[in-house]
Structures are given as C-alpha cells and as structure tokens.
Amino acid sequence: MRVAIYTRVSTDEQAEDGFSLDAQLSRLRSYCLAQQYTIFKEYVERGESGRTADRTEYAKMMSECDQWDAILVIKMDRIHRNSRNFSDMMEFLSDRSKSFISMTEKWDTTSAIGRFAMDMVQRIAQLEIEQIGERVQIGMSQKAKTSDNHLGKPAPYGYRLSPSQEAGVEGKYVPITTEADVVRGIFESYLAGDRIWTIAHRLDEQQTPTKRGGRWRDKTVAYILKNRFYAGYDDWNGELRKGRHKSIVSLETYNRVQELMGKRRRNSSQAAKTIVPGVTGESGAG
C-alpha cells in the first residue's frame, strides 16, 4: 500500500511532546516499516490550524491522490479538528477508493466498522466544540443585559470608551461633546427638511472630522440617523435593550426621524423596524 504521510503542528503545539513534526515523522516511518507500507511522500504542515482545510500541504496532498492509496496520520486531530471538514475529506476519499489510517487510535477505513467509529469520534469532538460556543454565547448575552461594559464593540461616532476604575474591567461609553453636537445637528437638519446627501456635503464643507478622519458620505450620515444607540438603546445579538450609556438625542426625536425616513422612501413598513416602541412623549436627551 502506498501511503501519504501527513503531519501538522500549530504554533501552540510546537513544543508539546509527541506533537513535534520530528516525533510524528519518526513514529509514522516506523509504523510503515512494520506494516510494510510504501511511503509515497511526506506532507509536513508547519504552524497551521486544524480547524480549516485551507492548508498548503494538505491541498497538495489531496491534489496528488491518484499517486497514493491511503493517508496516514499519527492522530485524527492532526488532519482535521472540524467534523464538517473531516466528513468532506472522507467523502472525497471514498469517491476515489482511498483509505484513511490513524496510527495511535487504530482507526482504519479499510473496514466498515473503522469508518463508523471514526465518524462517531469526530462528531463527539464537534459536539464539545459547539457546546463550549453555546456556553460562551449565553455568558456574553447575560453580560450584555447586566453590565455597563462594551463587550468588545467599538465606540460609535459621538462616543469614546472611558478607562475603568477597576482593574480588569472594561470601560464605558461616554459622549464626546464636539461629536455629540454634530450628531444632534444631523438629526435636527434632517427633521428640518435637509436630505442626507445635503447634510454630508455640508459637513465636508465645514471640514468637520469623521471618526477616522475621512470624508462624510451619505451612508455615514444614514447610519447615524438609523442608529438607536444615540437614543439610549442598544442591540445585542438581535435583542433590543435599554442601554446604560448616556443618550445624545431624545427617543422621540429619533423615532420622528425614522418616520420621516419611511415617508421619504415611501416604505413606512421598513422604517417601522427601526422605531423604538413604547414612546409616549418627549424624553430628555443626555
């Protein structure tokens, strides 16, 4: 049997015993000698993640599949850490009557039971990864509901992130006076009848700096007008919540702008999606 030896280490694993490239190659060569396998080629992947299939040596090996009969690895996670990618590889090999062998785990797809067992192991590993992701998402959602922290979101125009007084705690959104005045002016100008492109052009003529120092564009002004953050609200994972930051415009002003934008677009149903519900009167802006 002609085998393609595949070895891989990610950066974090370079120094781990048993996972170095030299250690993998040495053991796999000895295994081939004992099994009387012929080594077609050794594909050595340095500093690459197993969670993606976009790897140079891996792609080269698969492109040369007509020259070998099986892939040999020291352990399954050396070739894939994602069950979808692993399944795609197995389908690729099956369509071409090729096999897959994991030396230390004794998985060998030359048998039906080997193929079944390997598939189950990969699915269990993927389940663990997804469960970890779910726990992180739940934790972040809870933090978003109860915390003043910004959760990694950059401060929008009109705000900055103040340093926290507590070590290890993220800062809070604080209005920048000059930028907050610009935001209020944008809302007021739109309600007074100005078009979005007119507002953007005027800000450029006045040499009003943007957040990144570029030009004012229609989409920049439109984004500000549609952003509920300026009215004291925030979106987290599709859920609208009352923010703990100081608003720049009143909630009524924000909603009036959304209604006007809807009328101008002749599509009030679209504008209704951005309106914050439950407003009965003027709210004081921060």
Q: What is the pLDDT of residue 171?
A: 62
Q: What is the pLDDT of residue 169?
A: 42
Q: Which residues of the chain have pLDDT under 50?
A: 15, 17, 149, 165-169, 268, 280-284, 286
Give the residue among 262, 282, 279, 280 at the shortest CA–CA distance from 271.
Answer: 262
Fold type of domain 2-129: Rossmann fold (3.40.50)
By the 10 Å C-beta count (0-12 exposed, 13-18 middle, 19+ buried), 198 is classed as middle
Q: What is the pLDDT of residue 236?
A: 67
Q: What is the pLDDT of residues 215-234, one digit of tens each?
A: 899 999 999 999 999 999 88
- Structure token digits, residue 144: 């978003």
Q: What is the pLDDT of residue 6?
A: 96
Residue 10 annotated to the active site: yes
Q: DSSP letter string over the chain?
A: -EEEEEEEE-GGGTTSTTTSHHHHHHHHHHHHHHHT-EEEEEEEEES--TT-S--HHHHHHHHTGGG-SEEEESSGGGT-S-HHHHHHHHHHHHHTT-EEEETTTTEETTSHHHHHHHHHHHHHHHHHHHHHHHHHHHHHHHHHHH----TTPPPPTTEEEEPPSSTT---EEEE-HHHHHHHHHHHHHHHTT--HHHHHHHHHHTT---TTS----HHHHHHHHH-GGGGTEEEETTEEEE-SSPPSS-HHHHHHHHHHHHHHHT-HHHHHTTSPS---S-----
Q: What is the pLDDT of residues 4-34, one digit of tens each?
A: 999 998 865 554 545 688 889 999 999 999 9
Tell me the C-alpha distance between 95 and 253, whole Å.
Answer: 62
Tell me the C-alpha distance between 157 and 183, whole Å.
Answer: 8
> Considering the entire predicted model, what is its pTM?
0.45
- Structure token digits, residue 155: 């401060």
Domain span(s) for CATH 3.90.1750.20 in the chain: 159-272
Domain span(s) for CATH 3.40.50.1390 in the chain: 2-129
Tell me the C-alpha distance between 173 and 155, whole Å.
Answer: 7
Q: What is the pLDDT of residue 248?
A: 95
Catalytic residue among 10, 20, 141, 147: 10
End-to-end CA distance of the chain: 75
Q: What is the pLDDT of residue 262?
A: 87
Task: Answer left, alpha or beta for residue 193, where phi above 0 means left and psi between -120 and 50 means alpha.
Answer: left
Fold type of domain 159-272: Hect, E3 ligase catalytic domain fold (3.90.1750)
User: Strand pairing partners for 162?
Assistant: 172
Q: What is the pLDDT of residue 192?
A: 94
Q: What is the pLDDT of residue 162?
A: 79
70-90 b/e (C-beta count within 10 Å ≥ 16 → b): bbbbbebbbbbbbbebbeebb
